Chain A
Amino acid sequence: MSWFGKLRDALGGSRQSLAEIETLATARRPLDRAFWNELEEVLIAADFGVSTAEKILDGLQAAARRNLWTRSDQVIGRFKRDVESFLTMPESTLRLEARPAVLLIVGVNGTGKTTTIGKLAQDFRTQQKSVMLVAADTFRAAAADQLAVWAQRSGSEFLRGREGSDPSAVVYDGIAAAKARGIDVVLIDTAGRLQTKTNLMEELKKMRRVIERESGAPPAETLLVVDGTTGQNAISQAMLFNEATALTGIVVTKLDSTAKGGVLVGIADTLNVPVKLIGIGEGIEDLRPFEARAFVDALFEPETAA
């Protein structure tokens, strides 16, 4: 199956028939109240959030008046183009030029940081890069063990600290070791933390400072891993993690569920940080570059009965 097909399946659930796809999008409906309500509901059900949905609808209604549109397909066409171009940002691929290229992975608890790192490591290894995984999650029980399994699977170097030790010290050791061994990519796994816990966010800032001091540059990438089933809280996550660590990209995981991840649009409206990767399954190949077009198209896939 093509990657697009897989995304469509993943984002839309198992779809019934081709005829049903994009009914709202392709049907030539009059622009009546029922249509606008339905469109609003599609957006809200996809986790766009009320304020983002209202903003989009206001814009579309104004455009419809201005251009004297009469049919729904004109509106939907415009919507898709706008959202696609809105979500298409420059620099949406990973920057790995630095040597070592240090990737700092952050996020709230349970979004899939460690798993994302494992998949990235395997991908980099198949590109013949030397990789080191640094377990800077010294808080959660057995978090380092989990990363160690991924290091072994991918054939990456691995460095861990004692449970309960200062994560910045682990980062320091990791970068020193990576420099000494001439490693290409260093992936740093941090403990999950809720963005409102000030002391834990300070801990992240410190890790970032250590990276900058020891490697001579800010992290090549600071990636926020967001759970694709998250609702409007993802905006708060993006804002506060960005304040603390200056994000360079966002990874959205678990999009193989039936969630549509519409909160991405709200995030993009708040921050100028591109979505770089999405996770649509358990396999290594299921961590994919983000494509705005596929995302937008998948929004109009028919809902499946739960």
Chain B
Amino acid sequence: MLEALSQRLGAIFARLGNRGRLTEADVNEVAREVRIALLEADVNLAVAKDFVARVKERAVGADVLASLTPAQSVIKIVHDELVTLMGGAVARLQFSDAPPSVIMLVGLQGSGKTTQAAKLALRLKEQGRRSLMIAADVQRPAAIAQLQTLGKQIDVPVYAEQTGDPVGIAQRGLSEARRLGLSTVIVDTAGRLQIDDELMVELERIKERTSPKEILFVADAMTGQEATRVAKGFHDRVGITGVILTKMDGDARGGAALSIHHVTGAPIKFVGVGERVSALEPFHPDRIASRILGMGDVLTLIEKTQSVYTEQQARDLEQKLRRNEFTLDDFLGQLRQVRKMGSMAELVKMIPGLSRALPNVEIDERDVQRIEAIICSMTRRERRYPQILNASRRRRVASGSGTQVSDVNRLVKQFEASRHMMKQLGGGKRPRLPFLGR
């Protein structure tokens, strides 16, 4: 997700990184590029303008840290602002003290409400909460049947009436949940336009009758400039408490995430990353901000690795990453492990720097083989200390692996850059600001 935005900013910062000082003209150039990057990612124009203004203000303002180079300062500011823009920390679901706690899903047609209802129910079930799903969509043909089928799949009961008033259905469903002593109720409402007054009144009435603790706005990650107006439309009428961003498993740049939070103030609580009922993940603003900045997503990488390695192995890896002992050998091991998992493209994106070395979303298997060949053509010592790779060694590696010296150079450079990031990341307890330390 969002890798195109990270490429764009990555290119700017790579250029800035080579300069010692940042002039006002530089700041303006960065501002311009950041604006374009955000707009290309479908961030709303007004939101992008506001964001750029804040970054500029802070960049020329007083809080440029003495310990950082100007380029690092700008990166830090952009990163901070991105995290803020996407809601700060991970936001959890809230439950009311008196069960059943009601969660209401709202949004445009086709954003994925019914699917997310089942995903949420499954997630809650895994946390030991028993839910009832209420099918309050009597508009779309077979919406009820869809929820019932999903309910059967995950073994969660569904309350439905074939016709009638959604307000009454929601109310009767809630009584049913009380009768059954269930802890959570998920109300699946029909998709509607925020400008459809009649249907928005219906939502207001469902809210009034069921007093939901959470009203989650389900939004398509591919939404364009319209995202702010739609989100605001729903927020003004029913007051959304959170957002689920769906279809994030595609190549959508996901600028909608930034826009929606900006206009509603509601945190993005989950992202939908696939069609299976298990494909729902918590939204981590700081991780995604890091990814946008081309810093890779070390935390997710470590989590994913755990499913392949034992926990001990994963801790070792994390230690290595943090202590800057991550060698090309470890990298090669990773690469091979990852290939076994078969989701190369996904994981490469998480390795800092590598996504820029291999920018195409669909990783060409030959590129991977080339990297493997290059590393395999190095001596043990070279893999451990790539800095000893002088020109003659590089020529040897290139001819040994059937590649060009420039390929070797690129790999080493990227690897060094990643290690450098890791080193700075090792300073703090929590890598809130990877790259910058402290």
Using a CB–CB cutoff of 8 Å, the interface residues on chain A facing chain B are 13-14, 41, 44-47, 49-51, 108-112, 118, 139-143, 145-146, 148-150, 163, 194-198, 227, 229-234, 236, 254, 256-259, 263, 306
Contact = CB atoms under 8 A, between A and B. Distances in A.
Contacts of B247: 108-110, 194
A145 B145 contact: yes
A233 B146 contact: no
Q: Which of B225, B236, B252 has the most CB atoms of chain A within a 10 A radius of its CB? A: B225
17 contacts: A110-B220, A110-B247, A112-B109, A118-B141, A141-B153, A142-B148, A143-B146, A194-B249, A197-B250, A198-B362, A230-B220, A231-B225, A232-B42, A233-B252, A254-B108, A254-B109, A254-B193
Interface stretch (B12-20, B227-235, B309-317, B348-356): B227-235
Q: Which of A46, A143, A145, A149 has the most CB atoms of chain B within a 10 A radius of its CB? A: A145
A195 B250 contact: yes
Interface residues of B, number: 49
A275 B236 CA distance: 34
B146 A142 contact: yes
Contacts of B228: 306
B141 A306 contact: no
A207 B27 CA distance: 52
A196 to B, nearest CB: 5
Q: Which of A41, A139, A254 has the most CB atoms of chain B within a 10 A radius of its CB? A: A254
B333 interface: no
A111 B145 CA distance: 19
B78 to A, nearest CB: 18
B111 A110 contact: yes
Q: Which of A49, A231, A233, A234 has the most CB atoms of chain B within a 10 A radius of its CB? A: A231
B146 A146 contact: yes
B181 interface: no
Contacts of A150: 141
A13 B195 contact: yes
Nearest to B145: A142
A142 B253 contact: no
Contacts, number: 142
Contacts of B251: 194-196, 233, 236
B230 A257 contact: yes
Nearest to B231: A306
A49 B361 CA distance: 20
B255 interface: yes
Interface of B: 36, 39-42, 45, 108-112, 140-143, 145-150, 153, 193-195, 220, 222-230, 232-233, 236, 247, 249-253, 255-256, 275, 361-362
A113 to B, nearest CB: 9
B277 to A, nearest CB: 9
Given A112-B110, A196-B251, A232-B42, A146 B140 contact: yes
B40 A51 contact: yes
B146 A306 contact: no
Given A47-B226, A149-B142, A306-B194, A227 B220 contact: yes
Nearest to B249: A194
A259 B226 contact: yes
B45 A45 contact: yes
A28 to B, nearest CB: 26
B72 to A, nearest CB: 27
A142 B153 CA distance: 12
A110 B109 contact: yes
A270 to B, nearest CB: 15
Contacts of B141: 118, 145-146, 149-150
B362 A196 contact: yes
A77 B241 CA distance: 45
A234 B229 CA distance: 19
Contacts of B109: 110, 112, 254
Contacts of A194: 247, 249-251
A232 B110 contact: no
A231 B361 contact: no
B45 A257 contact: no
Contacts of A13: 195
A229 B227 CA distance: 8
Nearest to B107: A110
Given A230-B223, A306-B233, A142 B142 contact: yes
B275 A140 contact: yes
A218 B236 CA distance: 49
A293 B72 CA distance: 49
A236 B249 CA distance: 14
Contacts of B146: 140-143, 145-146
Q: Which of A142, A149, A163, A196 has the most CB atoms of chain B within a 10 A radius of its CB? A: A142
Contacts of A46: 225
B247 to A, nearest CB: 6
